[in-house]
Structure 1
Amino acid sequence: MEIDPSEVQSLYRTLAGAVVPRPIAWVSTRSEDGVDNLAPYSFFNVVSVAPPVVMFAPVDGQDGLKDTPANIRETDEFVVNVVTEPLAEAMNQTSATLPHGESEFDHAGLDRAESTTVDAPRVAKTPVAFECSLYEMIDIGASTMVLGEVEWVHVDDSVTTDDKLDVEKIDAVGRLSGSLYATTDDRFSLERPP
């Protein structure tokens, strides 16, 4: 099969099916009206370590920005919560389309934890959360890329060894395509060549 992007309606399924597994940014925000929002985004990654910057890129809604990027534009802050296997079902519940002003935390029955440097809450049971301030928002076609500078990191001691995050202890969930997800419990090691 060969695909000419100019001759198909969308490359979404091809891109989302080939770029796998994708980490999930489970982004929490608080609107200026005090409503807590929580939504998963699988177009997510680390951009820089100095300064520490992460990015996620939500597809815009039919009427413009969705609640998450709109809240970030208003408040300049958000939290990226790491999704682990025990939280996967709740994460899926927060992807539901709710009426404006209704909180996904409440819809999914999730407890909130206060953040240290931002006003947005974090998911209480996530083992890792990054509190972020808005670094930049960039419109890219039908998406808005949100870059956030990490201001504070919460790491539960249960996923550390010798005071370092231990990838063998965190069962992160990644997005595949459609309704398929993957865990990180099947691991292997390769030594980098000199």
Structure 2
Amino acid sequence: MKKSLGAKTLAQPTPVWAVGAFDEDGKPNAMIAAWGGIASSQPPAMTVSVRPSRHTYAGIMKHKAFTISICNEAMAAEADYLGMASGKNEDKLARAGLTAVKSDVVNAPYIDEFPLVIECTLLETHEVGVHTMLIGEIKDVKCDEDKLIDGKHPDVEKILPLIFSPGARDYHTVGRRVGKGFDIGRKYLKD
């Protein structure tokens, strides 16, 4: 029997994404966001929801671009810190020992130490309660070469992306491979 938990943001899991932008003064900044996902295949696009009160938000609005640096298990403490401090008050990247790299395709920085980066231009915004959903068109994806399968696809078991469990407020990482997508369910297809 399932127990009702009420209307809460308890989707499992949520991402741990470092949303990067230059602030209004041009300084690299990043914040951690957990509300996000893929929005479209054509054009390739993704969403991330940010509170307008966040320092990163103003930079995204000014420069019309952002990056998503996907944190891995090894950088969990650095990612957690990026979600606790404000770039308005300090240089969070320097304090955490992280390297900001200016994207060569969008006007935003990404975090070099995080193994997978998605670079986006801002397509549109939608106000949803206390957050603004940012929809970004993906202009490029960069991945550490040693984290690729066949040199062309990110390997989740090599990246070990950090994921977040809302409610419990715990960080985890992914588990083992279960099966091949669009294959293990074939037994239910009609011949």
Matched residue of 1:89: which SS? helix
CA contact (8 A) 2:122 2:134 kept: yes
Verify: 1:71 aligned to 2:59, yes or no: yes
Amino acid at match of 2:147: V
Offset, 1:2: 4.5
Amino acid at match of 1:40: I
CA contact (8 A) 1:27 1:38 kept: yes
Cα deviations by residue, 1:24-58 (Å, 9 ceiling, x for unpaired) = 22111102312221111111111111101011112
Matched residue of 1:79: which SS? strand
Structure-1 residue corresponding to 2:165: 176
Offset, 1:170: 1.8
Structure-1 residue corresponding to 2:185: 192
* Distance in 2 between residues matched to 1:159 and 1:109, nearest whole Å: 22
Structure-1 residue corresponding to 2:72: 84
CA contact (8 A) 1:94 1:107 kept: no
Structure-1 residue corresponding to 2:141: 153
CA contact (8 A) 1:93 1:107 kept: no
Structure-1 residue corresponding to 2:25: 33
Identity of aligned residues (%): 26
Unaligned runs of at least 5 residues, structure 2: none
- Quote the RMSD (CA, aligned, Å): 1.9
CA contact (8 A) 1:56 1:145 kept: yes
Aligned length: 180
Structure-2 residue corresponding to 1:131: 119
* Distance in 1 between residues matched to 2:68 and 2:26, nearest whole Å: 18
CA contact (8 A) 1:38 1:103 kept: no
* Distance in 2 between residues matched to 1:95 and 1:37, nearest whole Å: 11
Matched residue of 2:9: which SS? helix
Structure-2 residue corresponding to 1:8: none
Offset, 1:155: 1.3
Cα deviations by residue, 1:68-95 (Å, 9 ceiling, x for unpaired) = 2221111101110011101111000111
CA contact (8 A) 1:25 1:40 kept: yes
TM-score by length of 1: 0.84
* Distance in 1 between residues matched to 2:87 and 2:97, nearest whole Å: 17
* Distance in 1 between residues matched to 2:63 and 2:101, nearest whole Å: 18
Offset, 1:99: 6.2
TM-score by length of 2: 0.85
CA contact (8 A) 2:48 2:135 kept: yes
Unaligned runs of at least 5 residues, structure 1: 5-10
Among 152, 166, 184, the alignment partner of 1:164 is 152
CA contact (8 A) 2:24 2:58 kept: no
* Distance in 2 between residues matched to 1:102 and 1:91, nearest whole Å: 15
Amino acid at match of 2:40: S
* Distance in 1 between residues matched to 2:87 and 2:56, nearest whole Å: 14
More off after superposition, 165-174 vs 132-141: 165-174
